[in-house]
Amino acid sequence: MLGPPQSVVGAATGTAGFVRMLGAAAGTGALGSLFTHAVARGLPSGVDASSLTPAAVAGMPDGVRHAVQVAVAAGSSSLFWVTAAIAVVAVVAALALPRRAAPSPLSPADTAATAGDSVMTDR
């Protein structure tokens, strides 16, 4: 059997979903922090990153608006390269996982013979 026992499949599925959501939240926070730091680092002096709204950027002088656009592009570029590196590490890790043979499919006769075996009777 490749998965958890039938008696705990619900708990295993819930745990997997929870860990996936926790990883997504942590990853989003970390990558958002990286992007914000890269943008703030590239902004010209006197421009506050927390005040950057589309209306505020549209009202800036051309030189300052261009500097803000360059800072946002640099932040996007940093974000791209970091996520690309994470993806490469994930693919290498996935390829390094040990392989297990899949169970052979049961014939219809085997399925009928083992139909009652899947019920847990020990209490």
- Mean pLDDT of all residues in 52-74: 92
Q: How far is CA 18 from CA 15, 25, 66, 91, 104, in A?
A: 5, 11, 42, 22, 31
Instruction: Give residue-wise pLDDT tens across range 103-116.
Output: 666 666 555 555 55
pLDDT of residue 6: 85
pLDDT for the residue 34: 94
Give the start-to-end residue ranges of the domains of the chain.
Answer: 9-96
Predicted structure pTM score:
0.67
Between 121 and 79, the more confident residue is 79
Lowest-confidence range among 48-52, 93-97, 115-119?
A: 115-119
Helices 9-42/62-96 angle, 10° precision: 150
